[in-house]
Amino acid sequence: MTERPTAGTSGTGAAAPGFELDRTDPEGAIAAAAARCSNWGRWGPDDVLGTLNFLDAAKRREGAALVRRGASFSLAQSFDMNGPQRGWRRRTNPVHTMLDTGTDAERGAQGFPHGLGGADDVVFMPLQASTQWDGLGHIFDHGRAWNGRRAGEVVTSDGDRVTGIETAAAHPAGRGVLLDVGAVIGAGGELPDGFAITTEHLDATIAAQGDTARVGRGDLVCVRTGRLARARRDGWGDYAGGPSPGLSFTTADWLHRTEIAGIATDTWGFEVRPNEFDDAFQPLHQVCIPNMGLFIGEMWDLDALAADCAADGVYEFFLTAAPLPVTGAVGAPVNPIAVK
């Protein structure tokens, strides 16, 4: 494992006093934040779970104890042709095709005995076409993957041979917490495109929602911006890859300091778009995934859950969000279930 240079920081996970972005220097900002927020070596040289290490058995018991009413909410969008993808980097919406149908059964064309008939189907889809987790092999920083490994030794033409998404399949189940920033900070429950959610916005949302919205070690945090609600109302448009509210680059230290296990949003790209530098692409990803080892969820549907949380004033719940364990995948679909 390669050690990361400290870039002149203390390594305490706290940003320098008066920390502000220099829009002209994404390289410097990324390097400094990566040094402050690095978890390389924290769980040993062979670690494949990153921040999911924070979600231990005690945290799962805490999450399970939150079930009071038994009300459940799927946080997944539909996986179908009416989806957000526009073909960027060959990402398409799921294509569902039948292999055997009721028509085949009626005609006796299936070859089964004693009148048995059946239906079968197949789906073709990029693994990050809809509601999904980013795996730890999804993003690299200057040729380095999570925990300082060489990117080319982690992900090859055979897939992610070290931190494939299957390694995380049993772990994302515990205390979930919703931060409805769209409702607290936005207008009409929505943040405008290009709105950068800062640490101050996150803290203000927690304060407004109360004690059940506290965020800490091992939590799975869901941040609602209202962007998906707008896409549903006005059409997909540029939802996939276009302007969007999202987390500010300056929240990297908050994400590191809180020791959360994972974070998901109702947006395509998790962080604010356009990004906050003059020439950058997803710089917060570059800090969070390969350096922090943070699991990031995108395109989660948080609207029904948010309405229920607002109605009963409780913003914590049991959340189970296991990714489909596709061996060697660097991201995978998920149907997160929140139970209150």
For the ranges 104-108, 246-250, 260-264, which has the lowest average pLDDT? 104-108
Six token digits for residue 45: 């040289």
For residue 291, is it within any domain? yes
Tell me: do 64 and 213 sit in the same domain: yes
Tell me: do 116 and 246 sit in the same domain: no
Tell me: do 261 and 302 sit in the same domain: yes
CATH number at residue 65: 3.50.30.50
- Number of domains observed in the structure of the chain: 2
Six token digits for residue 59: 């945290």
Report the pLDDT value the prediction gives residue 246, as an integer from 0 to 100.
Answer: 98
Tell me: do 118 and 238 sit in the same domain: no
> Measuring CA to CA, how many Å separate 339 from each of 61, 148, 211, 293?
14, 36, 18, 26
**For residue range 190-247, what is the model confidence (pLDDT) as tens digits?**
999 999 999 999 999 999 999 999 999 999 999 999 999 999 999 999 999 999 999 9
Confidence of residue 20 (pLDDT cuts 50, 70, 90): confident
Report the pLDDT value the prediction gives residue 284, as an integer from 0 to 100.
Answer: 98
Six token digits for residue 120: 């079968």
**For residue range 72-117, what is the model confidence (pLDDT) as tens digits?**
999 999 999 999 999 888 899 999 999 999 999 999 999 999 999 9
Report the pLDDT value the prediction gives residue 39, as an integer from 0 to 100.
Answer: 98
Tell me: do 119 and 137 sit in the same domain: no
DSSP string, 18-80: T----TT-HHHHHHHHHHHH--TTTT-TT---GGGGG--HHHHHHHHTT-SS--EEE-PPP-S
For residue 234, is it within any domain? yes
Tell me: do 237 and 292 sit in the same domain: yes
For residue 15, is it within any domain? no
Tell me: do 157 and 288 sit in the same domain: yes
For residue 11, is it within any domain? no
Report the pLDDT value the prediction gives residue 19, as an integer from 0 to 100.
Answer: 56
Rounded to an integer, the average pLDDT of 166-175 is 98
| Percent share of the chain, pLDDT over 90 | 92
Report the chain's terminal Cα–Cα distance, integer Å: 42
Report the pLDDT value the prediction gives residue 112, as an integer from 0 to 100.
Answer: 94
Tell me: do 107 and 221 sit in the same domain: no
Tell me: do 206 and 296 sit in the same domain: yes
Q: Which residues pair with 246 in a beta bridge?
A: 196
Confidence of residue 291 (pLDDT cuts 50, 70, 90): very high
| Percent share of the chain, pLDDT over 70 | 94
- Beta-strand ranges (E) seen in 173-239 are 173-180, 196-197, 220-224
Tell me: do 309 and 331 sit in the same domain: yes
Closest C-alpha among 230, 249, 138 to residue 189: 230
Tell me: do 115 and 143 sit in the same domain: no
Coil, helix or strand at residue 284: helix
Task: Find the domain containing 100 and state its range.
Answer: 96-124
**For residue range 315-327, what is the model confidence (pLDDT) as tens digits?**
999 999 999 999 9
Tell me: do 119 and 152 sit in the same domain: no
Question: From CA 120, how far away is CA 107, in angstroms rounded?
Answer: 16
Contact between 21 and 253 under an 8 Å Cβ cutoff? The reply is no
For the ranges 3-12, 38-47, 115-124, 301-310, which has the lowest average pLDDT? 3-12
Identify the burial level of 204 via C-beta atoms within 10 angstroms of its C-beta, where 0-12 means exposed, 13-18 middle and 19 or more buried: middle
